[in-house]
Structures are given as structure tokens and as C-alpha cells.
Amino acid sequence: MQIYVVRPGDTLWGIAQRYSISPDLLAAANEIPNPDRLVIGQAIVIPTVTQEPRPMIETGAYLDVADTGAASPAVVDRVGIHLTYLTIFSYAVNRDGSLTPITDESAIQAAYRQRALPLMVLTNFENGTFSQELATAILSSEELQGTVLDNALAIMEQKGYRGLNVDFEYLGAENRERYNEFMRRAAARLRPLNLLLSSALAPKTSADQPGTLYEGHDYRAHGETNDMVFLMTYEWGWSGGPPMAVAPIDQARAVLEYAVTEIPRNKIMMGIPLYGYDWTLPYVPGGQWARSISPQEAIGLALRYNTSIEYDYAAQAPFFNYIDEEGRYHIVWFEDARSIQAKFNLVKELGIRGFFYWVLGRDFPQNWLLIEDNFVVRKYGSGQINL
């Protein structure tokens, strides 16, 4: 696999000639909209014909059906060949143990077309955010937990889900052991049915890391109970915070190096973002939030404003600045082929189960090319899940 970074004076034809491939193939593989205009600093993946042996891994991706809507099956069909799991977001738990329904049937069917196992997501989402109060109400009652699991299992059987992904966030220390017990109850219900159990956990670097987001998540307990643990190694740079890389490699490494001391490596799934952010400067805490953009949108912005893309080698992430039509300064941090390759290298180095994405629906063609070049993606048959 090779990644070429565009330099001043480069043309697509010249790059293609250098690597003895067709300019049309190069443009199509990287979805370059205008072959006559490249961005200095843009990372281009050079497709390869022959490959060395590649390790087999598992991959997953969240699909927020409230966001993708009627386009959900098309989104899944486009990239599902690269996925082991499709994690469909989300069934919100209500205070009486019922689950707020979502329109997920077509996404589930698309997952099966692509031989990706659909996983149902449970969240403590209420009034547009994760609710500690809601989680406490559910996790403090064995009866309500039983109702939640009854309802989840009924939906899973009805719709064909092959596993459950629990994404309870901002629990606080008081819910740590309660959450562990809920996951043990879930495992006792799911395992006899040959259904997978996983959870999405905050990016921690120590067992006693302070903060409401972290204190309720017990890496060791979830590693003992679950089939998989999805580590949310992203959102260091987030829409309401100061500009920085969304998933800096040094921060992700610190989380994973701690995780392998608490969770079996064959259960760890590393989180990777399929998006970036466009901040309007100067950044003011509590002020205007950054706009979420896809990597392809980022390239389009750099092209539109005729600016060069730079690369932070410590964070292993690209960024650029521009001035919009109203004279406002912006900075954009996003992902490109180089930053994704750095994450894939970390997955290989640590020997973990694989990785997952938040979130489908964002255009990023180079990412899928790199999967093909680096790994063989595990696919399950239509029969039993063999863990």
C-alpha cells in the first residue's frame, strides 16, 4: 500500500504515470471530483494489484438511522462488504423499561445482504442527550432491567438482530457496579440464544479516571462479561471544544495500552471517526459550535478556498485554515489516508480484535481502500456465530 501526498506542481496524470496506473483509476478510487484540480497536502491512496498476506480482523460501524433515514440501506450497501458488524443506533430506554422504536428494517436487510451481522444499540438517551438520571432509575431496579431485556430480546427476535450493543454514557461512579450487574444479567439472557453482547465505553487511561463520563465504565468487568468492548477513541476534538484532532494517535494509543491490561485483546474494538470538524475562529468556550464534516467535504473546502493541507505528525492528523466569504477565519481538522493508516498500524501492533467507525453516512473513499489493502475482514455465515 502506498499513500502519495500532493506537492506543488503535481497533476493527477503525473502521479498516475509515476506509479504506472491509469489516471481514471486513480481518480475513481479516491473519488476526486475534478482531476484537473488537486489540493497541496491532499493524501491520495495508490491502488495496488499484488498484496502481501494480510491479517484477519473484525470491523464494525454505527449507523444512526435517524440521520440517514430512507438512505440507510444504500449507505450500508455501499460499504457493507468491509464490515463484520452493523451497529444500528439506537433504541432509547424509557423510564418504564420500554424502548423507543426506530425504523431499522431496511438497514437490517441491507446488513444481511452484505453478510454483516446487525447489532441492536440500547442507549440512556433522553431529551436529546445521555441522561444519568434515567440510567440510575433503570440500573437501580432489577425489575426495570428485566423489562428492558425482555423488550430488547423481543425486538431482536422479531427483526433479526444478532447481538446487543449497550451504550450507556455519563453514568457516574454511583452506577459503576450497577452497570456491571446489568451487563451480567444481559449476558445470562443472550448467551444461551447465541447472541453477541458488547458495550461502548469511554476512552480511559486508568481505572480510577475522574469524571462522570468515565467513572461508571469498568473496563475489567466489561471485558469479563462481554464478547466485545467498543472503545470510543475519538472526540478529543469535539464540536463544543477547542480546535484539535478528533482522534489524535497518541491519545488513542494511551487508551488502548491501558485497555489491554484490563480486557482480553481478542475482545477490544478500537473506535475510528469518519468525520472532522470545521471551527470558526476565534474559539470561544460556550460560543459557536464547530460544524461536523466528512473527509471528502474537507478536501472540497480546501479546494474551494485554495489552501494547502498540513499534517500534524504528533497527532497523526491533517488540518488546514481558510478565510470564508465573510472574512471569518476557520480551522478544519479531519481524517485522511495517512491518519487512518496510523490507526490501522496501531491495531496491528497491539493485536486487538479490530475496529469500528462512528458513523456511516460520511463520504471517505480512501478509508475503504485502506481496509482492503491492510486486512481481510471477517465475515460470518448465515448460520451460527462462532466466537
Q: How confident is the model at residue 382 (pLDDT cuts 50, 70, 90)?
A: very low
How far, in Å, are 224, 262, 303 from residue 228 at the CA level?
10, 13, 40
Q: How confident is the model at residue 52 (pLDDT cuts 50, 70, 90)?
A: confident
| pLDDT tens column, 213-237 | 999 999 999 999 999 999 999 999 9
169 is catalytic: yes
pLDDT greater than 90 at residue 175: yes
- Report the pLDDT averaged over residues 33-54: 88
- As given in the structure block, the three cell numbers for residue 384 are 451460527
Report the pLDDT value the prediction gives residue 381, as an integer from 0 to 100: 66
Report the pLDDT value the prediction gives residue 385, as an integer from 0 to 100: 54
Fold designation for 280-332: Chitinase A; domain 3 (3.10.50)
Q: Report the distance separating Cα 83 and Cα 328, nearest Å.
A: 40
Give the CA angle between residues 336, 365, 34 to the nearest 5°. Answer: 90
Residue range 2-46, CATH number: 3.10.350.10
What percent of the chain is helix, strand and coil (3-state, nearest 5)? 40, 25, 40
- Report the pLDDT averaged over residues 150-162: 98
| pLDDT tens column, 75-111 | 999 999 999 999 999 999 999 999 999 999 999 999 9
Q: How confident is the model at residue 48 (pLDDT cuts 50, 70, 90)?
A: confident
Q: Report the distance separating Cα 15 and Cα 41, nearest Å.
A: 14
What's the Rg (C-alpha) of the chain?
Answer: 21
Same fold, 2-46 and 56-273+339-377: no
For the chain, domain boundaries: 2-46, 56-273+339-377, 280-332
Q: How confident is the model at residue 387 (pLDDT cuts 50, 70, 90)?
A: very low
Give alpha helix (H) positions in 10-114.
12-18, 23-29, 65-68, 72-79, 105-113
Catalytic one of 31, 105, 133, 169? 169
The answer to whether 276 touches 240, Cβ cutoff 8 Å, is no
56 backbone dihedrals φ, ψ, rounded to 5°: -90, 130
- As given in the structure block, the three cell numbers for residue 234 are 475519538
pLDDT greater than 60 at residue 368: yes
CATH superfamily of 56-273+339-377: Glycosidases (3.20.20.80)
